[in-house]
């Protein structure tokens, strides 16, 4: 156990992780003698003239550029040499050093793996309402008509309202403290749900559970964009996080089925009450673990598991990717300044990405409970078996998620991954909208249910890449787009997913298919603006653009070749 000695020594009073004070590496021996500290990660990279030394430069001729290059979202994002080092069948790139690979493995364990567990616990507590509803909650509380969907809407309202403070919290407070604390709070309210005796009490507690769960999703999305320094590695790690969602839905059904069979009448309680008790206890344990797993951020690192050199390396790689760190200003004052909001409100990201996410939040029928309500309408499954069958679609969703995200990362084709997933999603929802089809066709359609969400990790990792140059803008855009997306589902749910229409839901399936189609079209809009942005920052990305027809020489060649000493010159590559 000697390997634990150094990490445990970093705990205050033996049990509290604290902020690590890590000095930056001096840039030169002269700087070291002068005790000058060089910042390895800036807070803003939106100045296109602000370029750092890159390992290689590609000189790219734009003359006679083929039209189909529009569909290559990485065209201006990375240069030729970097793309050549990316092999679709390898988890790491060819030029990753052993130290960089070790660092990524640690991040994968501390952040990626823990995020899976945390998101699993969240969905265990979020989806248990549907399972409890068909396990006796409906009869115990005499729920009628649209009581179920109205309760779900209150959960969503709590989810929406409490996201707003995180415009500040994402950069202003240590998330390694905040997220586990929120986990423990919503778990306590989940356990408290077992005591409800009226619909009003149920609605109040579900509102509180939704309130404390509100920032979990966007916080982990923010952390992935903060830690992952390779744009072709974010989607697969966000995918692992999403595994938690699908596993939460899947195991919620299986666990609920086991509880219904084994706990009915134990302690004088109905089985559906035990569902909330057991789910809540599991989530509390996950929250406690988070205090020691979550690493904070690279700028403000609280991890006891990362060495000082690994923190420095992480900051250096993020700088090379032009991923901005926490702004070194008074965040509260900056957040309410006119200059900050003028910058955000005049940018394309806040509007284009918000519409994009609204379409994403409405392109899936999984959260409606339509599938389990259809199973119940068949009147062929007993108590427990019904919950077991509810695990089918999220189980398949894990496969769809894996295929979509790995395709996006390995082949560097995020746009195509989104289109392919939505093609299957539209197919399934169209079949369900038609409805009068053989039962086998319905089973096929339900099996495609989670293709809708399979592309969400791709979209959110892309958002992190788009907004990487300004940490404060990234936080605001992330919160606003997520808030508007969930807000749209809150009021659309009561319109198109009315419980009294179950399991037919003609409006629901039709609206979901339309949202999926709109998502495909809007992705082209995102592609246009993203490519335009990355072309503007092409020099930062190691690409010098010129046109051999209109320009006699590539732009900036003379300046680059004349700057710095011979040993500081980058390795240049000219593309004829």
DSSP-derived secondary structure letter, 328: S
Q: Return the closest-CA partner of residue 352 out of 533, 167, 496, 169.
A: 533
Can you give the pLDDT at residue 553?
Answer: 63
Name the residue among 288, 252, 238, 256 with its Cα closest to residue 115: 238
- 199 to each of 144, 193, 196, 206, 273, how far by Cα in Å? 10, 11, 8, 11, 14
Written as six digits, the tokens of 396 are: 């398949």
Give residue for tokens 């084709």: 413
First-to-last alpha carbon distance for the chain, in angstroms, is: 57
d(CA 456, CA 360): 7
Cα(224)–Cα(164) distance, rounded to whole angstroms? 20
Short-list 412, 300, 340, CA closest to 73: 412
Structure tokens at 18: 């604290």
What distance in Å separates the CA atoms of residue 136 and residue 143, rounded to the nearest whole number?
10
The rounded distance, in Å, linking the Cα atoms of 306 and 7 is 8
Instruction: Please state, in angstroms and as integers, the Cα–Cα distance from residue 23 to each residue in 40, 290, 311, 327, 549, following that order.
Output: 10, 26, 10, 17, 49
Say if residue 503 is preceded by a cis peptide, omega within 30 of 0.
yes
Residue 550 CA to chain centroid, in angstroms?
43
Q: Helices in 383-413 by DSSP H: which ranges?
A: 385-389, 392-410
What is the reported pLDDT for 286? 95
Q: Which two tokens stand for residue 462?
A: 């892309």
Residue-wise burial string across 187-207, b where 16 or more C-beta atoms lie within 10 A, e elsewhere: bbbbbbbbebeeeeebbbbbb
pLDDT given for residue 274 in this prediction = 94
The three-point CA angle 518-232-25 to 5° equals 135
Cβ-contact 412, 435 below 8 angstroms? no
**pLDDT for res 37:** 43
Tell me the C-alpha distance between 182 and 178, whole Å.
6
Burial (CB < 10 A; 0-12, 13-18, 19+), residue 443, is exposed
**Residue 475 and residue 171 in contact, taking contact as beta carbons nearer than 8 Å:** yes
Helix (H) and strand (E) counts in the chain: 27, 5
Q: Count other Cβ atoms within 10 Å, centred on residue 405.
A: 28
Residues 226-271 have pLDDT tens digits of: 999 888 889 999 999 999 988 888 888 888 889 988 898 899 899 9
Cα distances (Å, whole numbers) of residue 367 to 317, 380, 475, 497, 516: 38, 23, 26, 10, 15
Buried b / exposed e across 489-498, counting CB within 10 Å, b at 16+?
bbebbeebbb
Q: For position 50, what pLDDT does the model report?
A: 63
Looking at residue 52, what is its pLDDT?
63
Contact between 533 and 466 (Cβ < 8 Å):
yes
Query: What residues contact 476, with CB distance under 8 A and at least 6 apart?
Result: 167, 344, 350
Distance CA(278)–CA(261), nearest Å, equals 14
Quick count: other Cβ atoms within 10 Å of Cβ 298? 28
pLDDT for residue 130 = 86
Task: Report pLDDT for 493.
Answer: 84
554: left (phi over 0), alpha (psi -120 to 50) or beta: beta
* Residue-by-residue DSSP string for 529-572: HHHHHHHHTTTTTTEEEE-TTT-SS-TTHHHHHHSS-GGG--EE
Q: Which helix (H) or strand (E) element contains residue 12?
A: strand 11-12
Q: How many CB atoms lie within 10 A of CB 11?
A: 13
For the chain, which ranges sit under pLDDT 50?
28-38, 557-576
**Which single residue is written with the structure tokens 């990305």?**
541
- Which residues face 543 on adjacent strands? 58
Listed residue (537, 571, 568) closest to 55, CA to CA: 571
The secondary structure of 94-157 as a DSSP string is TT--HHHHHHHHHHIIIIIIHHHHHHHHHHHHHHHHHHHIIIIIHHHTT--TTHHHHHHHHHHH
Buried-exposed string 386-397: b where 16+ CB fall within 10 A, e elsewhere:
bbbbbbbbbbbb
> What angle (nearest 5°) sits at the alpha carbon of residue 446, between those of residues 264 and 361?
95
């Amino acid at each position: 156990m000697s390997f634990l000695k150094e990490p445990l020594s970093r705990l205050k009073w033996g049990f509290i992780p604290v902020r690590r004070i890590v000095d930056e590496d001096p840039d030169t021996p002269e700087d070291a003698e002068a005790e000058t500290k060089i910042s390895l990660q800036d807070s803003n990279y939106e100045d296109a003239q602000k370029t750092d030394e890159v390992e290689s430069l590609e000189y790219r001729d734009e003359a006679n550029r083929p039209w189909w290059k529009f569909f290559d979202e990485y065209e201006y994002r990375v240069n030729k040499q970097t793309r050549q080092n990316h092999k679709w069948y390898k988890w790491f790139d060819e030029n990753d050093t052993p130290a960089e690979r070790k660092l990524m493995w640690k991040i994968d364990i501390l952040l990626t793996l823990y995020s899976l567990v945390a998101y699993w616990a969240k969905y265990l507590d979020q989806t248990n309402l549907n399972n409890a509803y068909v396990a006796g909650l409906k009869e115990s509380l005499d729920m009628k008509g649209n009581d179920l969907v109205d309760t779900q809407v209150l959960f969503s309202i709590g989810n929406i309202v409490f996201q707003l403070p995180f415009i500040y919290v994402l950069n202003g407070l240590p998330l390694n403290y905040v997220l586990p604390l929120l986990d423990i709070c919503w778990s306590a309210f989940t356990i408290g749900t077992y005591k409800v005796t009226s619909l009003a009490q149920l609605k109040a507690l579900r509102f509180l559970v939704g309130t404390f769960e509100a920032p979990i999703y966007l916080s982990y999305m923010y952390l992935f964009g903060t830690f992952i320094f390779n744009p072709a590695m974010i989607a697969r790690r966000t995918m692992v996080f999403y595994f938690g969602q699908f596993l939460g839905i899947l195991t919620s059904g299986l666990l609920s089925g086991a509880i219904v069979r084994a706990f009915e009448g134990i302690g004088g309680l109905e089985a559906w009450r035990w569902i909330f008790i057991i789910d809540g206890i599991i989530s509390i344990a996950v929250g406690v673990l988070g205090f020691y797993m979550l690493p904070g951020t690279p700028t403000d690192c609280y991890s006891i598991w990362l060495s000082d050199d690994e923190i420095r390396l992480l900051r250096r790689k993020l700088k090379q990717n032009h991923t901005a760190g926490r702004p070194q200003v008074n965040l509260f004052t900056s957040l309410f300044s006119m200059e900050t909001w003028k910058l955000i409100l005049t940018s394309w990201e806040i509007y284009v990405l918000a519409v994009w996410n609204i379409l994403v939040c409405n392109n899936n029928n999984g959260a409606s409970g339509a599938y389990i309500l259809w199973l119940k309408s068949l009147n062929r499954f007993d108590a427990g078996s019904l919950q077991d069958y509810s695990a089918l679609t999220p189980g398949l969703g894990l496969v769809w998620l894996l295929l979509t995200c790995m395709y996006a990362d390995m082949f560097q084709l995020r746009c195509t991954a989104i289109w392919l997933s939505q093609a299957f999603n539209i197919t399934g929802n169209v079949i369900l909208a038609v409805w009068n089809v053989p039962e086998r066709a319905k089973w096929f359609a339900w099996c495609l249910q989670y293709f809708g969400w399979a592309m969400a990790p791709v979209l959110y990792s892309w958002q992190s890449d788009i907004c990487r140059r300004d940490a404060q803008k990234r936080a605001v855009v992330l919160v606003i787009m997520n808030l508007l997306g969930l807000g749209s589902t809150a009021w659309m749910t009561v319109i198109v997913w009315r419980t009294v229409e179950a399991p037919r839901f003609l409006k629901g399936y039709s609206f979901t298919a339309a949202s999926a189609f709109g998502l495909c079209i809007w992705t082209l809009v995102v592609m246009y603006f993203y490519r335009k942005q990355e072309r503007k920052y092409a020099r930062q990305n190691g690409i010098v653009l010129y046109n051999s027809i209109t320009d006699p020489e590539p732009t900036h060649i003379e300046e680059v070749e004349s700057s710095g000493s011979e040993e500081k010159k980058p390795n240049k590559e000219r593309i004829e």
